[in-house]
């Protein structure tokens, strides 16, 4: 049985790795990539340039992967950040559900909680709860710690303190609890790709459980 996938956020660190995995998977017939800019199409990848504030009806899909994300610095304000990390991801999830998706994979963040006093973590937690409340058969939530990957190749700025934190994590690796060590974006993608097709109910993948897959 082949699967058809919707993916939002393919231009990010984890989204790029999810796309690579989906393209390499012989059980995946097509990947509908949603973004604000066109992506190079291949025999398996269909690029859709969309306005996330007014999504059109999607083609029929079986699964959806949500990897949209930004920072307050890049977005420019808390409101703009929320429009991407919460509103856009939730809009894609709802559109995919309406098009037949039964399962969803979400890239969240360590510390996500709707009750957090930290704005970033609170928005991530609110999104987790909103996605889990939708009538999917299964939802897999990845909560990575500091992501390691080549942002420069994606045209993304290195986030403040990220280089230092990654270097420290590599140096002090064995002394740092697994959930707090930096994690390769590819490991996060592999964990989601392995769990989403089998998902039932809500499953949360902490950072330490996704390392080295």
Residue 212 within any structural domain of the chain: no
Domains identified in the chain, total number? 1
Residue 17 within any structural domain of the chain: yes
Residue 128 within any structural domain of the chain: yes
CATH of the domain at 138: 3.40.50.720
Residue 49 within any structural domain of the chain: yes
* Contact predicate 211/40, CB 8 Å: no
Pairwise CA distance, residues 181 & 166, whole Å: 8
From the list 44, 68, 63, 99, the residue with the least C-alpha distance to 199 is: 63
Beta carbons within 10 angstroms of residue 116's beta carbon: 15
Residue 163 within any structural domain of the chain: no
Residue 176 within any structural domain of the chain: no
* Residues β-bridged to residue 74: none
Instruction: Give residue 139's domain range.
Output: 3-156+184-207
Q: Which long-range contacts (CB under 8 A, 24 or more apart) does 81-90 make?
A: 81/119, 81/120, 81/123, 82/123, 83/53, 84/52, 85/123, 85/124, 85/127, 86/123, 86/126, 86/127, 86/130, 87/52, 87/53, 88/8, 88/52, 88/53, 89/8, 89/127, 89/131, 90/127, 90/130, 90/131
Residue 165 within any structural domain of the chain: no
Which residue stretches of the chain are H helix?
Answer: 13-24, 72-75, 78-82, 89-98, 119-132, 162-171, 185-195, 207-210
pLDDT digits (tens), the chain, 213 positions = 799 999 999 999 999 999 999 999 999 999 999 999 999 878 999 999 999 999 999 999 999 999 999 988 889 999 999 999 999 999 999 999 999 999 999 999 999 999 999 999 999 999 999 999 999 999 999 999 888 755 455 555 555 555 555 555 556 556 666 766 778 899 999 999 999 999 999 999 999 889 875
What pLDDT is attached to residue 151? 47
The alpha carbon torsion through 101, 185, 15, 205 (nearest 10 deg) reads 20
Residue 167 within any structural domain of the chain: no
């Amino acid at each position: 049985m082949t699967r058809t996938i919707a993916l939002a956020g393919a231009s990010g660190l984890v989204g790029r790795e999810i796309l690579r995995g989906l393209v390499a998977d012989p059980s995946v017939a097509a990947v509908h990539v949603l973004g604000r800019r066109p992506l190079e199409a291949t025999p398996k990848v269909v690029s859709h340039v969309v306005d996330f504030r007014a999504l059109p009806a999607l083609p029929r899909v079986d699964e959806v992967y949500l990897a949209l994300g930004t920072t307050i610095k890049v977005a420019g304000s808390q409101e703009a950040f929320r429009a991407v990390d919460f509103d856009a991801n939730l809009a894609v999830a709802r559109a995919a559900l309406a098009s037949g998706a039964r399962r969803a994979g979400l890239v969240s963040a360590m510390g996500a909680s709707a009750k957090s006093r930290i704005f970033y973590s609170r928005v991530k937690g609110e999104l987790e709860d909103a996605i889990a409340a939708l009538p999917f058969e299964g939802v897999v939530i990845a909560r990575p710690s500091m992501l390691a990957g080549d942002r420069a190749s994606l045209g993304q700025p290195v986030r403040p303190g990220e280089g230092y934190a990654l270097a420290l994590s590599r140096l002090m690796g064995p002394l740092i609890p697994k959930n707090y060590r930096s994690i390769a974006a590819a490991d996060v993608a592999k964990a989601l790709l392995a769990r989403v097709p089998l998902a039932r109910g809500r499953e949360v993948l902490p950072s330490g459980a996704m390392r080295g897959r």
